Chains A and B, each alone.
Chain A
Amino acid sequence: MSILALGMEGGGEGYTPPGVGIFWEPLIGHDATAITRPVFLAVLSVILIAWFLLATTKKRAIVPSKGQMATEGVYGLVRNGIAKDLIGSHEFMRFVPLLFTMFMLILVNNLFGVLPFTNYPTMSRIGFPLALALIIWIIFHVVGMQKHGFFGYWKSLVPAGLPKGMIPAIFILELITDLFTRPVTLGLRLFGNMFAGHILMALFIAGGWYMLQSGGVLIVAGGVTWIFAFVMTLFEMLVEFLQAYVFTLLAALYIAGAVADSH
């Protein structure tokens, strides 16, 4: 709605493409303390996910219903395909709730981006993916230090068997990776994909609408743009799933690295 308004904003005089402003939708309050639209969506996602997961696992049938089969399918993907394969069958089980929660939360909030009525990818606001990346960052440090001890963890960053002269350089590189690169890229990757995807779709839809309104030859161009918007929506769904998967996969990889016997 706001996107179309934005596209029309220029009236007949010119076209203003959708920008960062389309992401700012405060619903209650204002400025830094505003309850924004993505906050509502995040709460809604938790309600939906919790309801779905609890409803489909209520019966605990050995021969599952369709809903239970869907839940089991996603759970199996995270449990066996990500956690067990990466962390190993010895320790993976205690990280399964974390990874499963991450995957479900990110997946549903991403899919909100193309879902009618929600129509907003929560993760396109940096605050959300950043918080999740921070949780992962804290957890893989804590479990690493539990495993190797405080000093042992930092020591384990440097691979064994390096020539003595290279140890300081490698340690600094690994430290930057461990403390900075990993959490930042984890958060920014998700944010960037959702932000860019949403703005791209906004551009296609609003631009197409503007051209359809303009009349003349532009109507054809507008129609073609909307067809592209449809294709982009399908593509966006793929990206939304993939980003949820990649985030969970990398989280499991970082945890696996921290609890591994040697780096």
Chain B
Amino acid sequence: MHVLIIPASGGEGEGTGFWATAAPIIPHPIEFFFSLVTFAILYWIVKTKVVPRLEQIYAERAAAIEGGIAKAEKAQAEAKAALDHYNAQLADARGEANKIREDARAQGAQIVADMRAQAQSEAARIVDSAQKQIEAERQQAVVSLRGEVGRLSTDLASRIVGESLHDETRQKGIVERFLADLEAGEITPVTIGKDA
């Protein structure tokens, strides 16, 4: 494109002479020189100031991110440890509660059994003593009845027969014989037999 335009440009511009019309691929010495100088100055600034600063930012940012990750990981590990601890504690507490419940149940059963045994023995004792008392009272009643019945019978007989049967030996023999008969069932008076 520019090749076509070169001949068309007339030589009129900011100035005339060789450089105004020279082929554009001929480097101007001052421009060439200033290209090197400006590059050198900028390169020096970039190398000594800008790149170190930017690399420092890179490094700091990477460190900050890595530090943040490490911190988060640490926090997570701590949280996990706490959770494990709490879970262990909970399991312990649960186990302990179970144990206490078992103990209480066993203890309750023991108490019930004890009480039952105690009550049974008490009842047995009461029954026993009652039986004994009944037996004693019966014995006493039998003895007293025996004496009473003997006396009454003798009194009655003496009145009926009119003779004194108060002879000790005879009286004893008759009464004893009577009572023996009575027990053998040979004589069955209604009232006395029923009591016997």
The chain A residues found within 8 Å of chain B, CB to CB, are 2, 6, 9, 16-26, 30-36, 38-39, 42-43, 45-46, 49-50, 53-54, 57-58, 60-62, 64, 68, 71-72, 75, 79, 96-98, 100-102, 104-105, 124-132, 135, 188, 191, 195-196, 199-200, 203
Contact A20 B5, CB 8 Å, known A32-B29, A35-B30, A96-B51? yes
Contacts of B5 in A (CB 8 A): 17-20, 199, 203
**In the complex, are the beta carbons of A20 and B24 less than 8 A apart?**
yes
Contacts of A62 in B (CB 8 A): 57, 60-61, 64
**In the complex, are the beta carbons of A100 and B31 less than 8 A apart?**
no
The chain B residues found within 8 Å of chain A, CB to CB, are 1-2, 5-6, 8-15, 17-36, 38-39, 41-43, 45-47, 49-51, 53-54, 56-57, 60-61, 64
Q: Is the interface of A mostly helix, strand, loop or mixed?
A: helix
**In the complex, are the beta carbons of A9 and B19 less than 8 A apart?**
no
Distance A130 CA – B28 CA, assembled complex (angstroms):
10
Contacts of A124 in B (CB 8 A): 24
Contacts of A199 in B (CB 8 A): 1-2, 5
Q: Is the interface of B mostly helix, strand, loop or mixed?
A: helix
How many A-B residue pairs lie within 8 Å, measured between CB atoms? 188
**In the complex, are the beta carbons of B57 and A19 less than 8 A apart?**
no
Contact A38 B18, CB 8 Å, known A21-B13, A126-B24? no
**In the complex, are the beta carbons of B46 and A53 less than 8 A apart?**
yes
Contacts of B41 in A (CB 8 A): 46, 50
**In the complex, are the beta carbons of B13 and A42 less than 8 A apart?**
no
Distance A138 CA – B9 CA, assembled complex (angstroms):
36
**In the complex, are the beta carbons of A60 and B53 less than 8 A apart?**
yes
**In the complex, are the beta carbons of B51 and A97 less than 8 A apart?**
yes
Can you name 19 A-B residue pairings with CB atoms under 8 Å?
A: A19-B6, A21-B9, A21-B20, A24-B19, A31-B17, A32-B28, A34-B19, A42-B35, A49-B42, A57-B50, A60-B53, A60-B56, A60-B57, A62-B57, A71-B50, A98-B43, A130-B32, A199-B1, A199-B2
Distance A17 CA – B34 CA, assembled complex (angstroms):
30
Contact A135 B20, CB 8 Å, known A2-B13, A24-B14, A24-B15? no
